Amino acid sequence: MEIRLEKIEPERNFYRFYLIRQERDLFESGSLVVQWGRIGQAGRMAIRSSGPPERIEALFERLVRMRLRRGYAIAGAGFRSGGAAP
């Protein structure tokens, strides 16, 4: 599962993305990979957690809710997806 969130505030020169992705390994446990940065740039990446799929899914949902509360929106929901910031 993967979701891309964006927060765009041109008056503040604020063009951010936050990508959250669940991955499974060979042993059926999961990992949560997070990538963030300025739209149009590579950004930073980190593996936030690994463990049982249920725990990873709960953390995934918590991170999405937290970013939505902070003003991010799901990419493609009225926002430009990808591309460079002006």
Query: pLDDT tens per residue, the chain (86 residues)?
Result: 899 999 999 999 999 999 999 998 777 788 999 999 999 999 999 998 888 889 999 999 999 999 999 999 999 654 444 444 44
Q: What is the pLDDT of residue 27?
A: 76
Q: C-alpha 61: how far from its chain's center?
A: 11
Which domains, from first to last, does the chain contain? 2-74 (2.20.140)
3-class DSSP string for the chain: CEEEEEEEEHHHCEEEEEEEEEEECCCCCEEEEEEEEECCCCCEEEEEEEECHHHHHHHHHHHHHHHHHCCCEECCCCCCCCCCCC
pTM of the model: 0.80
